[in-house]
């Protein structure tokens, strides 16, 4: 029988990466290690920021790339591979996926997150979790919650109104918890509305467990616990890594009666249950994984992450096209983010070698600029790149952000590409207008040159096999099908969160509310460089025969998608929903479902998109619950949030609660209740027949109306009680 003092020890990590062994319970140490897009098992001294070496593992595209695939089935396959590698490396829980909302393109850790939209983030994170956990390896979905910046991330207060918190920042987490059942959740560093996430009973118990039914354990981000007693009482189970003073604080609090044994027993039981699942899967684990097969999967995955932002027909390139390659990123790829998620790849391919292999001969190349501090280039590097570009039929300019520009721990100062790269591009355009820009970046960058180059290929960060994937897209071996999951603006000032990011020591106010990302751009009518969901193909697609039906389960959307071009291709049909006559504040349209279809030239196929009733609901602050509003809904389906090809309206039967009339109800609200008009008529005489006065009166609380009429409130309340009783 394990005593309570021993059980306390399991609520903190024994070191940086392991839970403690509990010998009398037969519970060995279990290793937790960083992900999310690869296994980062360190081989030297422990550190959390990726400084020390780690065992080789497959580096798949980070979430910034995976998000653009819109392919849940693919992410399940990636998850299975990650789980296999965890087993081979003796890792019981992989720390990921990260799924915070991309509130601002400046967030330094956006490369670890899927989207500015909670539906995409929730669907794709769920797929990754399911894949990993099929191998008996746990996941730790993070960072719960409202960790949308790196500036002052360990203490800044995310101040978010109730509806926005529920509909934007918690909704994706809810989808993962309820549909994929992750073994663990990792709480964030920051405060949420005044309380640290690690001590936030509302988040960790009321929402996560009581509402969503989460049955795993909650661990802290590394160093996120300030008081383990408060954290345990709030619903946290495991502090990582353990802080000796915090553990001693729990023992003293138990002795003083400030925390009860039941709370400790509960945390111990949650942790033990999950660890035993991992231990069982590791007992017969293989000692290796299929390196070649996983590298091939990383390449197939990268192919679907690439987004063709613009193209005037120059792409795909013919094999005989005389190209010049400019930019160090072609030779030294930026393939993952910096910080705790840095993976030591089993191999690393680059685009320059892949292009050379594809065309069968060396191509002219000039690095042009440095991509990391400490790199040295000849003084003539800029001029050499311009000279190489001058005589080419097409210049492939590989531009982007180096690791020092975006990383865990700090945010970006600007959305611009580095000045030296922009200057080089200008000089190349002066001697050769046939330029294709290929980007490597972990979050969106401004593209003031987009209209002056012949194509822009958004490569994001593509993992260890991204180089050949880029080459295959450029030359048409692969037809691009990626769609961006973060809007690319013309100006940083256009970003909806611009005025409220990153806040200051008093906190960061999420002043844009519901209008984050494309929701805000659409509401203000702001022109953008490339809209949410955008991505071109080397073929074209037609949309027709849309049908929408409504039931208690939600909406059934079906349409026909036809490949109207000359190449096989994959299209992602996106369904956006709006409620034109809504009685609550709404954004112009919200993504509520999507489906991908791969078609041969001339082929048509019926595509079905299910929109659950849960997705139709808004969070009612009055009722503190999800409400589906009755009325006419508009469903628009298209290739992006601003390329909507077909639409239909459908009547939806909602579940609005019957709200009792009170003296704080308005006259307009009361007038919708049968029988009230007869009560109200005698009081109307004080307004006469002036329509403006009558209109003004509609927003008046009943208490004010009764006061103006000269009647005592206590005689009016029984009338309201009677009307309320008649409605139930």
Q: State the catalytic residues.
A: 221
Separation between Cα atoms, residue 151 and residue 160, nearest integer Å: 17
Q: What is the DSSP string of 599-613?
A: E-TT-EEEEEEEEEH
**Terminal C-alpha separation, the chain:** 54
Tokens of 270: 């949650």
Q: Is 676 helix (H, G, I), strand (E, B) or coil?
A: helix
Q: What is the DSSP string of 469-526?
A: HHHHHHTTSS------SS-EES-GGGSTTGGGSS-BTTBEE-TTTT--THHHHHHHT-
Distance set, CA 137 to CA 175, 220, 275, 306, 527 (Å): 20, 19, 10, 29, 45
Residue 77 CB: number of other CB atoms within 10 A? 16
Q: How far is CA 185 from the centre of its chain?
A: 15
Which residues does 533 contact at the CB level (< 8 Å), separation at least 6? 483, 484, 485, 518, 572, 574, 591, 638, 639, 640, 641, 643
- Identify the sign of the CA torsion 454, 468, 301, 412: negative
* The pairing of beta strand 323-326 with beta strand 365-366: parallel
* Residue found by looking up tokens 């992410």 in the block: 75
In a 10 Å sphere around its CB, with 0-12 CB exposed, 13-18 middle and 19+ buried, how is residue 218 labelled?
A: buried
Phi-psi region of 50 (alpha: psi -120 to 50; beta: other; left: phi over 0): left
Question: Which among 77, 31, 72 is positioned nearest to 58, based on CA atoms?
Answer: 77
Separation between Cα atoms, residue 717 and residue 720, nearest integer Å: 5
Separation between Cα atoms, residue 416 and residue 490, nearest integer Å: 11
- 8 Å CB contact between 644 and 576: yes
Question: Which among 480, 410, 491 is positioned nearest to 445, based on CA atoms?
Answer: 491
**∠515-579-620 over CA atoms, to 5°?**
65
In a 10 Å sphere around its CB, with 0-12 CB exposed, 13-18 middle and 19+ buried, how is residue 680 labelled?
A: middle
Q: Is 210 helix (H, G, I), strand (E, B) or coil?
A: helix
């Amino acid at each position: 029988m394990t005593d309570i003092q021993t059980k306390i020890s399991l609520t903190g990590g024994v070191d940086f990466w392991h839970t403690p062994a509990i010998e009398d319970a037969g519970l060995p140490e279990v290793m937790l290690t960083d992900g999310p897009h690869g296994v980062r098992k360190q081989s030297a001294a422990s550190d959390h920021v990726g400084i020390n070496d780690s065992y080789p593992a497959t580096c798949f595209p980070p979430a910034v790339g995976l998000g653009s695939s819109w392919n849940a089935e693919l992410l399940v396959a990636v998850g299975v591979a990650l789980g296999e590698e965890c087993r081979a490396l003796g890792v019981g829980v992989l720390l990921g996926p990260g799924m915070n909302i991309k509130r601002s393109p400046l967030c330094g850790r956006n490369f670890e997150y899927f989207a500015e939209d909670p539906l995409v983030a929730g669907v794709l994170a769920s797929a990754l979790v399911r894949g990993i956990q099929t191998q008996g390896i746990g996941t730790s979905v993070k960072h719960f919650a409202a960790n949308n910046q790196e500036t002052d991330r360990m203490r800044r207060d995310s101040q978010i109104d109730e509806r926005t918190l529920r509909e934007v920042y918690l909704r994706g987490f809810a989808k993962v918890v309820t549909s994929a059942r992750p073994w663990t959740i990792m709480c964030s560093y920051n405060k949420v509305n005044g309380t640290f996430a690690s001590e936030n009973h509302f988040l960790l118990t009321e929402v996560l467990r009581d509402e969503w039914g989460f049955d795993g354990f909650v661990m802290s981000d590394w160093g996120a616990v300030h008081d383990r007693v408060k954290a345990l009482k709030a619903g946290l189970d495991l502090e990582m890594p353990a802080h000796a003073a915090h553990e001693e604080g729990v023992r003293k609090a138990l002795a003083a009666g400030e925390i009860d044994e039941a709370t400790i027993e509960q945390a111990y039981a949650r942790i033990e249950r999950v660890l035993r699942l991992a231990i069982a899967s590791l007992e017969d684990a293989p000692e290796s994984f299929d390196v070649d097969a996983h590298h091939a999967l990383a390449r197939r995955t990268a192919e679907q992450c690439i987004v063709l932002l613009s193209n005037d027909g120059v792409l795909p390139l013919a094999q005989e096209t005389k190209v010049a390659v400019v930019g160090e990123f072609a030779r030294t790829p930026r393939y993952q983010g910096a910080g705790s998620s840095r993976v030591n790849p089993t191999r690393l391919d680059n685009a320059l070698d892949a292009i050379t292999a594809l065309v069968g001969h060396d191509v002219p190349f000039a690095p042009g600029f440095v991509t990391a501090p400490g790199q040295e280039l000849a003084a003539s590097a800029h001029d050499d790149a311009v000279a190489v570009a001058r005589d080419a039929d097409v210049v492939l300019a590989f531009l982007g952000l180096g690791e020092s520009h975006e990383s865990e721990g700090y945010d970006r100062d600007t959305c611009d590409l580095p000045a030296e790269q922009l200057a080089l591009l200008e000089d190349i355009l002066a001697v050769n207008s046939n330029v294709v820009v290929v980007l490597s970046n972990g979050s969106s960058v401004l593209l003031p040159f987009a209209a002056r180059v012949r194509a822009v290929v958004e490569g994001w960060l593509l993992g260890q096999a991204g180089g050949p994937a880029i080459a295959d897209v450029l030359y048409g071996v692969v037809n691009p099908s990626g769609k961006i999951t973060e809007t690319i603006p013309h100006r940083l000032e256009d970003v909806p969160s611009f005025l409220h990011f990153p806040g200051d020591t008093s906190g960061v106010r999420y002043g844009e509310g519901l209008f984050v990302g494309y929701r805000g751009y659409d509401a203000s009518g702001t022109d953008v460089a490339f809209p949410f969901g955008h991505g071109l193909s080397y073929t074209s697609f037609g949309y027709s025969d849309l049908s929408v039906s409504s039931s208690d389960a939600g909406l059934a959307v079906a349409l026909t998608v036809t490949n109207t071009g000359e190449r096989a291709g994959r299209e992602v049909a996106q369904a956006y929903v709006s409620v034109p006559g809504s009685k609550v504040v709404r954004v112009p349209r919200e993504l509520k479902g999507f489906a991908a279809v791969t078609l041969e030239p001339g082929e048509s196929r019926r595509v079905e998109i299910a929109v659950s009733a849960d997705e139709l609901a808004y969070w009612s602050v009055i009722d503190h619950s999800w409400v589906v509003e009755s009325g006419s809904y508009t469903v628009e389906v298209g290739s992006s949030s601003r390329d909507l090809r077909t639409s239909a309206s459908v009547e939806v039967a909602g579940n609005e609660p019957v709200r009792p009339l009170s003296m704080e109800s308005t006259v307009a609200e009361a007038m919708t209740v049968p029988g009230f008009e007869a009560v109200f008529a005698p009081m109307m005489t004080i307004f006469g027949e002036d329509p403006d006065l009558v209109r003004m009166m509609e927003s008046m609380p009943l208490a004010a109306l009764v006061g103006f009429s000269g009647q005592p409130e206590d005689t009016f309340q029984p009338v309201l009680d009677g009307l309320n009783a008649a409605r139930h």
